[in-house]
């Protein structure tokens, strides 16, 4: 079967089960878009307002579904506009294939119009990158790219195709794609050593990361927690991997984690890290992190073992398979005194906020109540992100999508669109601060163009809230370039971009606004006005031990 490179690309996408791509056309990629036009009944294309929005949408689609997300852009600035989204996916281990087209082969390396070495640009932020200069290898390259993106520790892969390859023809042979097996790289002796360490522990704690979601290991994690009778904390990326309403759950760990999690991990005698990488936002001072504990790390990526924290034992492999084998080696443990102590900490140090005024914690609790905890929540980055993590109960995986590693302002709206496309039966809500919303609010036009029923909640305090919080606490209240008060009217902007807009200024207006937005089944922006000096607590100062966690009450006692 003789096909052009563009037709081969489309056929390979169909082979991989791709039903949606997100992108923006241009000169170098026109042949590919022409082929997509001819297959529009098989692969849906979502035209975003900006290429960065396409990358974030592919990311959100991947996180919400577990499939590989696909985005496309033309050469030069189109390709470079994908970079932030690719880096976001790389830092959070999101399976993505980014497809770009470049100038023709004779023009490569000559500073041609809209020429950029995008494979070189993205080399540090992709699992692998390809430049395809021969149509004969195109199909195999695409298949390899998808395999790399989804296998092991997932991540983004770039395929850059010269324009002449998209037009050239060659023989195409269809293939049936085989999913890879879950692999492990540890010995029976290493497995039994870990089981023995667990059996000897008196005060075990489970520290849960995003790997538990990626490997679909939620059931195995729940069984493990019951077997070893331990409390469970999670990272931002691990939200939903363990039932947030469980009595064992103690909340997030780290810089804005709960006092219970931070103090409990500091007291435990065994810390079991499941699909977590000991990031600086979790550990604080690494020399004093869990210093009373022996540490076990289970991770698919051998490079993460002993990278940030020295561990006493490790098992390298897919977490679902590893936990299945480990659980089979364990007998039921009981630690009543330890669990009672953790319960006391939870009762002594609950999350709390000033409930007199409209606030983001209250808004998140109302969203939780109205949606019965069944929504997919995406976020941007900052105070609202932490409040969304703290005050909504995530009981299922793939329901909290946020930029954890890169901390990308402007991520959430595109991701919410991608999540809604991937999970059309779910209520999808993006939580953004006013600073983040300014970054990519043009993607509301994408939502209105396709009538994608996302709900964009803007937490508007008219400042860059998280940066201002640091300026308040550590920079003598010198608010350098963090005040956003101007003449921008977000409701008018949203309406101008084709969406319904609702402004909320009182607590009693929150629930009706959410209910109305859900009922409309159309894109809605809800702007919520909150005080400029609301702060996220608890908090651990950067570089301090997590045992030094403090909250608003602690600050009042010190002043």
Q: What is the distance between the alpha carbons of residues 41 and 36, in angstroms, rounded to a whole number?
A: 9
Among positive and negative, which fits the CA dihedral 158, 163, 164, 169? positive
User: Please, which pLDDT band fits residue 178 given cuts at 50, 70 and 90?
Assistant: confident
Mean of pLDDT over the chain:
97
Domains of the chain from N-terminus onward: 2-171 (3.40.50.970), 184-349 (3.40.50.1220), 360-536 (3.40.50.970)
pLDDT tens digits for range 49-78:
999 999 999 999 999 999 999 999 999 999
Q: What is the distance between the alpha carbons of residues 436 and 441, in angstroms, rounded to a whole number?
A: 8
Beta strands in 245-396 (DSSP E): 249-252, 270-274, 294-299, 313-316, 376-379
User: Would you state the pLDDT for residue 119?
Assistant: 98
User: Would you state the pLDDT for residue 332?
Assistant: 97
List 431's β-bridge partners, or say none: 379, 457
And the tokens for 510?
A: 């929150």
Short-list 230, 219, 179, CA closest to 324: 219
Preceding omega of 191 cis (within 30 degrees of 0): no
Q: How far is residue 197 from each of residues 192, 226, 279, 377, measured CA to CA in Å?
A: 9, 16, 24, 37
pLDDT tens digits for range 347-363:
999 999 988 999 999 99
Q: What is the distance between the alpha carbons of residues 196 and 463, in angstroms, rounded to a whole number?
A: 52
And the tokens for 103?
A: 């100038």
Catalytically active residues, by annotation:
51, 113-114, 163, 466
User: Please, which pLDDT band fits residue 41 given cuts at 50, 70 and 90?
Assistant: very high
For 103-177, where are the alpha helices, taking DSSP H only? 118-121, 138-150, 163-167
And the tokens for 489?
A: 């009217």
Per-residue pLDDT at 180 exceeds 80: no
User: Would you state the pLDDT for residue 183?
Assistant: 83
User: Would you state the pLDDT for residue 290?
Assistant: 98
- Contact 208/231 with Cβ under 8 angstroms? no
Short-list 339, 188, 193, CA closest to 267: 339
User: Please, which pLDDT band fits residue 181 given cuts at 50, 70 and 90?
Assistant: confident
Residues 6+ apart with CB under 8 A from 130: 119, 141, 144, 145, 157, 158, 159, 160
Looking at residues 275-293, what average pLDDT do you find? 97
Phi first, then psi, for residue 171 (nearest 5°) are -75, 135
**How remote is the C-alpha of 537 from its chain's centroid?**
22
Task: Return the percentage of the chain with pLDDT > 90, whole number.
Answer: 97
Looking at residues 272-286, what average pLDDT do you find? 97
Residues 6+ apart with CB under 8 A from 267: 203, 292, 341
User: Please, which pLDDT band fits residue 464 given cuts at 50, 70 and 90?
Assistant: very high
Q: For 321-333, b where at least 16 C-beta lie within 10 A, e where not — what string? A: bbbbbbbeeeeeb
Looking at residues 150-162, what average pLDDT do you find? 97
Element (H, E) at 6: helix 5-15
Q: For 352-382, b where at least 16 C-beta lie within 10 A, e where not — what string? A: ebeeeebbbbbbbbbbbebbebebbbbbbbb
User: Would you state the pLDDT for residue 177?
Assistant: 84
Per-residue pLDDT at 405 exceeds 90: yes
User: Please, which pLDDT band fits residue 179 given cuts at 50, 70 and 90?
Assistant: confident
């Amino acid at each position: 079967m003789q096909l052009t490179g563009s037709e081969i690309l489309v056929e390979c996408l169909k082979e991989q089960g791709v039903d949606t791509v997100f992108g923006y056309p241009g000169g170098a990629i026109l042949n590919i878009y022409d082929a997509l036009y001819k297959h529009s009944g098989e692969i849906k294309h979502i035209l975003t307002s900006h290429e960065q929005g396409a990358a974030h949408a592919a990311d959100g689609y991947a996180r919400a579904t577990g499939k590989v997300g696909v985005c496309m852009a033309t050469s030069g600035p189109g390709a470079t506009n994908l970079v932030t989204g690719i880096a976001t996916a790389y830092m959070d281990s999101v399976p993505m294939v980014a497809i770009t087209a470049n100038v023709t082969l004779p023009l490569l390396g000559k500073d041609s119009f809209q020429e950029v070495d995008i494979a070189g640009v993205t080399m540090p932020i992709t699992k692998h990158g390809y430049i395809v200069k021969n149509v004969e290898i195109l199909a195999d390259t695409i298949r390899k790219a998808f395999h790399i993106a989804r296998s092991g520790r997932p991540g983004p892969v770039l395929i850059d195709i010269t324009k002449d390859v998209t037009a050239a023809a060659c023989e195409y042979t269809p293939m049936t794609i085989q999913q890879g097996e879950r692999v492990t790289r540890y010995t029976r002796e290493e497995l039994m050593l870990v089981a023995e360490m667990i059996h000897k522990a008196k005060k075990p704690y489970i520290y849960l990361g995003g790997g538990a979601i990626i490997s679909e290991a939620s059931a195995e994690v729940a069984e493990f927690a019951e077997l070893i009778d331990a409390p469970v904390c999670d990272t931002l990326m691990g939200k939903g991997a363990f039932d947030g309403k469980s009595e064992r759950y103690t909340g997030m760990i780290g810089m804005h984690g709960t006092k219970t999690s931070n103090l409990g991990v500091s007291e435990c005698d065994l810390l079991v890290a499941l699909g977590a990488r000991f990031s600086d936002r979790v550990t604080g001072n690494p020399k004093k992190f869990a210093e009373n504990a022996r540490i076990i790390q289970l991770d698919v990526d051998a490079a993460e073992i002993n990278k940030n924290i020295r561990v006493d034992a490790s098992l390298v492999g897919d977490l679902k398979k590893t936990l299945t084998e480990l659980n089979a080696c364990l007998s039921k443990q009981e630690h009543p005194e330890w669990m009672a102590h953790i319960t006391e900490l939870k009762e002594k140090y609950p999350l709390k906020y000033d409930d007199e005024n409209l606030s983001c914690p209250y808004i998140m609790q109302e969203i939780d109540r109205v949606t019965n905890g069944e929504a997919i929540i995406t976020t941007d980055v900052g105070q609202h992100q932490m409040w969304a993590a703290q005050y909504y109960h995530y009981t299922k995986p793939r329901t909290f999508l946020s930029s954890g590693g890169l901390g990308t302002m402007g991520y959430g709206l595109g991701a919410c669109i991608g999540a809604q496309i991937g999970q059309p039966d779910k209520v999808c809500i993006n939580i953004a601060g006013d600073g983040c919303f300014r970054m990519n609010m043009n993607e509301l036009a994408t939502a209105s163009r396709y009538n994608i029923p996302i709900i964009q909640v803007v937490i508007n305090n008219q400042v860059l809230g998280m940066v201002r919080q640091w300026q308040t606490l550590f920079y003598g209240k010198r608010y350098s370039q963090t005040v956003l008060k101007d003449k921008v009217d977000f409701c008018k902007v949203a309406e101008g971009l084709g969406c319904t807009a609702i402004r909320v200024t009182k607590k009693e207006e929150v629930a009706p606004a959410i209910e109305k937005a859900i009922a409309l089944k159309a894109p809605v922006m809800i702007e919520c006005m909150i005080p400029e000096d609301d702060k996220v607590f608890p908090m651990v100062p950067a570089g301090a031990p997590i045992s030094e966690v403090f909250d608003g009450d602690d600050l009042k006692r010190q002043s």
